[in-house]
Amino acid sequence: MTRYIFVTGGVVSSLGKGLLAASLGALLQARGFSVRIRKFDPYLNVDPGTMSPYQHGEVYVTDDGAETDLDLGHYERFTGVDGKQSDNITTGRIYRDIITRERRGDYLGATVQVIPHVTNAIKEFALSETDGIDFIICEVGGTVGDIESLPFIEALRQLRNDLGRDRTVSVHTTLVPWIAAAGELKTKPTQHSVRELTSLGIQPDVLLCRCDRPLPQSDREKIALFCNVPVSAVIPALDARSIYDVPLRYHAEGLDDAVLKVFGIEAPQPDVSRWEDIMDRLDHHEGEVTIGVVGKYVGLPDAYKSLREALVHGGLANRIKVNIRWLDAELFEGDSAELAAELESVHGILVPGGFGERGSEGKIASVKFARQRDVPFFGICLGMQMACIEGARNTAGISGASTTEFGETDEPVVGLITEWMSEKGLEQRAAGGDLGGTMRLGAYPATLGGNSKVASIYGTTEISERHRHRYEVNTHYREALEQGGLIFSGTSPDGTLPEIVERPDHPWFIGVQFHPELKSRPFNPHPLFAGFIGAALKQSRLV
């Protein structure tokens, strides 16, 4: 029998509902239960694929090609359960599907309304693909009281009645702020938030109270009294030194015990040794390296959330601390002195994915610096394309090398991909088509050269990685690039699409068309990130 845990948030946004859902999922797993975690996003976009990283943070891509909220990255990293298209829904997708059905006449002339049609669609999403799963954790984005989240809250209220109270638990995250002038924590925002949620028909069973200092027992008792929950269900949530410490903190405060108590379930204590080992590696590292990430969205680290975590995982694999220096690629355009000043002290250079021309010359300059100075280099998606353009210009003699993404060019070393093979068959795209959902998305296989560096890193010649891109390196330039020392060491199985390039004469110079950061886990670091950080560690000992 599948049980449901509904996670909502109140008072303000950014209280960590995603980390709560991921941590609770990990703790339930550690007790022997199976879990899936789902995200309800109230915005009208069909998915975040066309949203600016400054608006939404990174777009997380699943194996089946869904462009989803970055919280799904937390879910996967903490539980190891691969997300699916069916694990993220938006208001936009729900309304699109309902309007499509209405135009077809599926509603047989009925008046289409928020209740029951929209709420039924939300419930269908929550109840789909649950066979064999013990717990489904559903996180509702936004803040209780927001007008756009009301249909989701109403759907959860209906689900609690449909399934029965013994199969549903409501966990509500609130803020308990410290008021410096008064010299005390204030519980009133939590009381108001719970009152708001209760007025919508949902009485929370467990409260997670975010605060920046310990929550006194008297305050816990006060919250419990006014919010109609047991004191044991008022869980303090203080800032942690690492997100990977959060499951341990929540378990110590009794979160998983409180949830299981509401369900009336007795279970063995969780085996949290996995998280204890991770924190031991973070707290007792054996060295440090500094990685320069040269990108265009560095003003918002959430734009590179999975990338940041994958670098941390690479550090865990090598038991060293990774310091990340976020560098704006635009600052390096035409200023070699500033480029050298910023990159001289780093032990590895990473150019991540992205879209658009802004900052591209700075990225190319960073690639050149890494190649000439023998600094470990890792290019991801657009970063690989910039590495190929740099190689074409400076080692293959193609001075006008560029990409059609930035406009017309006589030397399109990188160009729009118009067709490719997938599990669905031949996929085709037009230059003037829609932007949303039209890239090469999801997991695709690749074949590696048997004597390549990447084959030795992976320990195999057959891999599968997740993609999100619209442009590809042009294979017509392969011979020229390889004569310049940039080897195509991985391709699609049919040999038509370049997947990986590397420089055999360089200590560590690898570019990949896919996004390996999406498959890295703290307890199972991606081999490319482990290898890159290992190379950076060697570099640190040479400086």
Provide φ and ψ at 210, rounded to 5°. -75, 130
CB-CB contact of 85 with 66 (8 Å): yes
3-state secondary structure of 112: coil
Among the options 227, 405, 517, 526, which is catalytic? 517
- How many whole angstroms separate alpha carbon 371 and alpha carbon 361? 15
Among the options 56, 117, 515, 526, which is catalytic? 515
276 is catalytic: no
Cα dihedral: 356, 361, 362, 368 (round 10): 130
What Å distances lie between residue 136 and 88, 197, 516, CA to CA? 13, 21, 27
Long-range contacts of 476-479 (CB under 8 A, 24+ apart): 477/388, 477/392, 477/396, 477/398, 477/401, 477/413
Q: Which residues pair with 291 in a beta bridge?
A: 324, 348
The token pair that represents 69 in the structure block: 């909220």
Place of tokens 């658009």: 356
381 is catalytic: yes
Nearest one of 149, 198, 536 to 376, comparing CA atoms: 536
Among the options 138, 211, 381, 388, which is catalytic? 381
CB-CB contact of 363 with 335 (8 Å): no
What Å distances lie between residue 283 and 212, 252, 348, CA to CA? 21, 19, 22
CB-based contacts of 61, cutoff 8 Å, min separation 6: 67, 68, 441, 442, 466, 467, 468, 515, 518
479 is catalytic: no
3-state secondary structure of 385: helix
Q: Tell me which DSSP letter residue 359 carries.
A: T
Angle of CA points 453, 455, 460, to nearest 5°: 165
End-to-end CA distance of the chain: 59
Interaxial angle between packed helices 360-373 and 336-343, expressed in degrees from 0 to 180 and rounded to the nearest 10: 60
Catalytic residues: 381, 515, 517
